[in-house]
Amino acid sequence: MNKKITTLSALMAAALALPSVTYSATFGDDFSTDTSADYVYTSTFGNNTATWNISGGTLTLPASGGSGQTANLFYDTATFAIGETVSVDVTGNDDAYLTVSTTTFAPNVGLNDGVRFNWYSDGTFRARSYTNGGTATNTNFHSSFNEASGSSMTLYLTRESDNTFSAAYSSIGGAMIQLNTTGGTEKQIFTAGDTGNGDLFIGVETYNSGVRNFDNLAVVPEPASAALLLGLGGLALAFRRRR
């Protein structure tokens, strides 16, 4: 019995120590074809006149009409579940958002619930959490994470539970860096309204005049959870072979 317990402990430790790997997306759009029919476009303030398009492997989304304009584009089916991470690559101008919402419209004061994760033109990162009928709650991440204007970034939002989330970023193709308000390496979890236990809609936004390019919009199992599941699967297989 002790030998079995020792083996179980060793296998579980190995599962938790698995290196990060790439997992198949539960949802993915690399924009290699024109999937514009699958998206809903809106202008948050009603007077953005720019057009958008999907071609050549890129979603091009401009904001126009002056300062403060926001254009947003949402996938038309709710796909973002608890325990998953949504990500998108951003090139061109910054002042770009990765957004999750209870509808195909960006969350805002008095409208609906969700999170708008913004990479600002000054290089800072901020998550704005919304509750229907209430004001926005800002999580301003530590200045040690600032990334200079003109960089190319991957933005990430992880849905930790019904109404809680965490944010991260990386250089495109680089390692994920968890964002927090302390400048450390820990994950910081924040609450966003009443997003319930159903799937959420995913989208991208632009803020202020300029064109932003988005690529590789994807939803995947949270890396830590996927690694644990992979490890436990190996654990079960090992014990089946021992029987």
Q: Would you say residue 62 lies in a domain?
A: yes
Q: Would you say residue 6 lies in a domain?
A: no
- Containing structural domain, residue 220: 24-236
Considering its fold, how many domains does the chain have in total?
1
CA max distance for the chain: 72
Per-residue pLDDT of the chain (243 residues; tens, 9 = 90+): 444 434 334 433 443 343 333 446 799 999 999 999 999 998 866 667 778 999 989 999 988 766 777 889 999 999 999 999 999 999 977 889 999 999 998 888 777 899 999 998 888 999 999 987 677 899 999 999 999 866 789 999 999 999 999 999 999 999 999 999 999 999 999 998 888 899 999 999 988 888 899 999 999 997 654 443 333 334 333 333 333
Q: Would you say residue 140 lies in a domain?
A: yes
Angle between helices 2-16 and 223-242 (to 10 degrees): 150
This prediction has a pTM of 0.81
Q: Would you say residue 1 lies in a domain?
A: no
Cα torsion at 11, 16, 21, 24 (round to 10°)? Answer: 90
Q: Would you say residue 168 lies in a domain?
A: yes
Residue 208 sits in a domain of what CATH number?
Answer: 2.60.120.200
Q: Would you say residue 242 lies in a domain?
A: no
The CA distance from 45 to 28, in Å, is: 29
The CA distance from 159 to 191, in Å, is: 10
Q: Would you say residue 137 lies in a domain?
A: yes
Does residue 194 sit in helix, strand or coil? coil
- Report in angstroms the alpha-carbon separations of 213 from 14, 47, 58, 141: 40, 21, 6, 24
